[in-house]
Amino acid sequence: MGIAKTPSVVTLPEAVKPYPSILEFLIKAFPGISRDTWAQRIRDEKVLDDNASPIAADTPYVPAKRLFYFREVENEPVIPFPETILFQDDEILVADKPHFLPVIPGGRFVNECLLNRLRARTGIADLVPLHRIDRETAGIVMLSANKKTRGLYHDLFMQGKITKTYHAIAEVAQPPQQELWVVQNRIARGEPRFRMRSVTGAANSESHIQLLKESGNRGYFHLRPVTGKTHQLRLHMSSLGFQIINDRLYPDLLPEQDDDFTRPLQLLANQIMFHDPLTGKAMEFGSGQALLL
């Protein structure tokens, strides 16, 4: 059983028709967890209020009230690849994440995620990712280590002052007529919700894509996302007819299966560059991992 070492937090939302109990809210908000499981957790005093006191089955539902609980997952998968710390000071930590490891807890993963591995490794409980990359994607992730300066580094991402570059290997069915593309479109959640899609409307995403070399029916690509939408590069590559090798979501959703560690998604967050908002110093970090064409 995987049990989180730090609590998750959920805030009870305002509702036109309030939930009859906190238990009913938890069942609705987390459909993957059964009524019996939530009821047992409450009986076991595993769901706490703002005062760190256990709630009871008859604790009234109060909008804006916060609840704290420790995620539990049976048979949590182990990801047999290490992360690498590339840089660490009092403000930030930059890590090189392996394929298959999620950045934050979710789904089947509690402690097997970059955030909780790094918290345990460094002893810094206040570590928080400043951005995310897909579980299937390897490469650079930057985290904040100081709550007081976190907003300064977060603003770099919000204001587009971070330059991120990726590498990818994808199928090239036919020789393309060009080597450079700029893709701009509107990305929204699709069905199922974890899969994104292109929709009509004002563009909210932009990627610059360059084919560097080809070998057989595969190409080695340099990608620069201007924006940071979920699955943006995977969707944009697919829209050009270039399926990233071992992508199980785009262009077609393949049946769910256990991870095949011999077939990682061929997408790497290769480099990140920015000027430190505190010192003004130019900062640049590159992944030690590589994709082989």
The residues facing 75 across adjacent strands are none
Q: Look at residues 109, 101, 105, 96 and name the one whose alpha carbon lies nearest to residue 80.
A: 101
Q: Measured at the alpha carbon of residue 205, what is the angle toward residues 201 and 207, in degrees to the nearest 5? A: 135
- In this prediction, residue 128 carries a pLDDT of 94
> CB neighbours (10 Å) of residue 222?
15
pLDDT band at 1 (very low <50, low <70, confident <90, very high): low
Domain extent listing, the chain = 2-73, 84-286
Please enumerate in sequence order all residues whose Cβ is within 8 A of that of 277, keeping only pairs 6 or more positions apart, or say none.
Answer: 149, 152, 153, 155, 156
Pick the range with the lowest mean pLDDT from 122-126, 174-178, 180-184.
Answer: 174-178
CB 3 within 8 A of CB 71: yes
> CA 212 to CA 220: how far, in whole Å?
6
Q: pLDDT-derived band of residue 16, with 50, 70 and 90 as boundaries?
A: low
Is 2-73 CATH 3.30.70.260? no
Q: Is the pLDDT of residue 220 over 90?
A: yes
Average predicted confidence (pLDDT) for the chain: 93
Q: Is-contact 115 143, C-beta < 8 A?
A: yes
User: Nearest to residue 185, comparing CAs of 195, 199, 170, 164?
Assistant: 199
Alpha-carbon distance 83 to 99, whole Å? 9
- Report, as an integer, the average pLDDT of 181-197: 94
The predicted-structure confidence for 272-290, as pLDDT tens digits, reads as follows 999 999 999 999 999 999 9
Tokens of 135: 């579980």
pLDDT band at 33 (very low <50, low <70, confident <90, very high): confident
Judged against a pLDDT cut of 80, whether residue 36 lies above it is answered with yes
Chain centroid offset of residue 153 CA: 18
Confidence of residue 17 (pLDDT cuts 50, 70, 90): low
Section 233-240 average pLDDT: 97
DSSP 244: B
Residue 197, amino acid: R
CATH topology of domain 84-286: Pseudouridine synthase (3.30.2350)
- For 38-87, write each residue's pLDDT tens digit: 999 899 888 998 888 899 888 888 888 899 888 787 788 999 999 999 99
Sign of CA dihedral 91, 131, 124, 69: positive
- The band of 192, judged by pLDDT with boundaries at 50, 70 and 90, is confident
Reported as half-sphere exposure (CB side, CA atoms, 13 A), residue 129 has a value of 19
* pTM (predicted TM-score): 0.84
| Cα 24 from Cα 57, distance rounded (Å) | 10
User: Is 6's pLDDT higher than 80?
Assistant: no
Answer for the pair 118, 104: CB distance below 8 angstroms, yes or no.
no
Percent of the chain residues topping a pLDDT of 70: 99
Gap between the Cα atoms of 266 and 247, Å rounded: 8
φ, ψ of residue 20 to 5 degrees: the values are -65, -25
Give residue 262's pLDDT band: very low, low, confident or very high (50, 70, 90): very high
End-to-end CA distance of the chain: 39
Same fold, 2-73 and 84-286: no
What would the mean pLDDT of 110-136 be, rounded to a whole number? 94
